[in-house]
A and B are shown apart, each in its own frame.
Chain A
Amino acid sequence: MASGEVKLIGSWASVFVMRARIALHLKFISYEFLQETYGSKSELLLKSNPVHKKMPVLIHSDKPVCESNIIVQYIDDVWNSSGPSILPSHPYDRAIARFWAAYIDDKWFISLRSILTAQGEEETKAFIAQVEERTELLEKAFIDCSKGKLFFNGDHIGYLDIALGSFLGWLRVVELDANHKFLDETKTPSLTKWAERFCNDPAVKPIMPEITKLAEFARKLFPKPQG
């Protein structure tokens, strides 16, 4: 089961693709990274994910797995004897990790992205305030989940670290664009230290995109209105 060719359809800039890559790196799995061209979708992507037509798609022995958090759990299930455990071992801790991962995708990320698409100062300010509030919740979540250890998952990077950490590049881009820090030592001391540890982890460092490159890409994706 654990043998078989692994391919990943994705892009260097995608948060969700990054989750899959981190999980593969944590398990020491070699894979072929098939990068999509911005602005078009490959035939393989459309064939492998006909329902959503989105990346990432993990193709393991020619069988596709879609949706980043599902891919991460699949990787943890298949290569369970390789590398550290990505999901916590206790069902309650798993439920908490899944809860916050869902919160990050359904609430936190939505507000963050809204800053980039906001029209005018009032709207931008409102979304900034919303992200501030939601980040504060994540700071508390970190303290509860980590229980004094280095990561949400304890001693090693895990599911929830990956869920939030994959956003750190884009978070920095939004901070620069909005001229506002969401992660800082006074407001979010625990998350700030965690973010640095996460970005320096050997499974993450080689694939975290360069901020200037990402910011340039963001300007293409979210062009600012003129005037």
Chain B
Amino acid sequence: MANEVILLDFWPSMFGMRTRIALREKGVEFEYREEDLRNKSPLLLQMNPVHKKIPVLIHNGKSVNESIIQVQYIDEVWSHKNPLLPSDPYLKAQARFWADFIDKKMYDAQRKVWATKGEEQEAGKKEFIEILKTLETELGDKPYFAGDDFGYVDIALIGYYTWFPAYEKYGNFSIESECPKLIAWAKKCLERETVAKSLPDPEKVIGFVSELRKRFGLE
């Protein structure tokens, strides 16, 4: 049976980036469809009625929602090439733990960095750096989070890197000076074609964040 894969996505979404990378790591051909989040397509609303959010992965007409679930799905369906999760159960559990940590902590913290000001922003910056430092400690001296192989945790985190210049600009701080090893890890990830193809230009992201800030009355 031919595989028809459609991804409903939004270009700056760090969540959509995960699914794009996972599909490319597996060499899966897919149709990328850009959604206008202020005018969601009937297909999006039909395929993700519970959350009405992107990314939505549609495989042979059936939808899989939530980016971290999509990455696992892709790994399990196209299991013959480039495993994204370690096979050892303990290492797999560790990978799941760190992806879950990223999901629990990163989004809200990063949002405070660019979408708030004053004391709230300062608190957000502090929290954000603390989270990055925890991740940097976990990375240690390994090339990737799981060791020698690029995989699940790298995929869960790398999309946020395209937003770093925007955080630095609007938060008025340097992430590299706080977390140099993490920046080195990110640059290494970007050397992979699957990642480079899946991530937007950070300058474009700055433009997007600027528009959002105008809408929120911050500029």
Contacts and interface: CB of A to CB of B under 8 A. Distances in A.
A127 to B, nearest CB: 19
Contacts of B65: 99
Interface residues of A, number: 22
A60 B89 CA distance: 11
A95 B100 contact: no
Interface stretch (A27-35, A40-48, A61-69, A150-158): A61-69
The dominant DSSP class at the A interface is helix
Interface string A83-125: 0000000011011001100110000000000000000000000
Q: Name the interface size band of chain B.
A: 20 to 34
B89 A77 contact: yes
A78 B77 contact: no
B76 A74 contact: no
Nearest to A60: B90
B123 interface: no
A67 B100 contact: yes
Nearest to A75: B89
Contacts of B59: 92
B73 A95 contact: yes
Interface string B74-100: 001100000000000110110011001
- Which of A66, A77, A95, A102 is the most central at the interface, judged by chain B CB atoms within 10 Å of its CB? A95
A81 B52 CA distance: 39
Contact of B64 (A73, A78, A95): A95
A221 interface: no
Given A1-B89, A78-B89, A73 B69 contact: no
B50 A74 contact: no
Contacts of B93: 65, 70-71, 73-74, 77
A98 B89 contact: no
Interface in B34-68: 50, 59, 62, 64-66
Nearest to A49: B97
B115 to A, nearest CB: 21
A51 B76 contact: no
A129 interface: no
A137 interface: yes
B10 interface: no
Contacts of A99: 64-66, 69
Contacts of B101: 51
B72 A98 contact: yes
Interface of A: 1, 51, 60, 63, 65-67, 70-71, 73-74, 77-78, 91-92, 94-95, 98-99, 102-103, 137
Which 7 pairs from chain A and chain B are nearest by CB? A77-B89, A91-B76, A74-B93, A95-B73, A95-B64, A70-B96, A65-B93
Given A60-B90, A73-B92, A103-B50, 11 more contacts: A51-B101, A65-B93, A67-B96, A70-B97, A70-B100, A71-B93, A74-B90, A77-B89, A91-B76, A95-B72, A95-B73
10 contacts: A51-B134, A65-B97, A78-B89, A92-B59, A92-B64, A92-B73, A94-B72, A95-B70, A98-B72, A102-B66
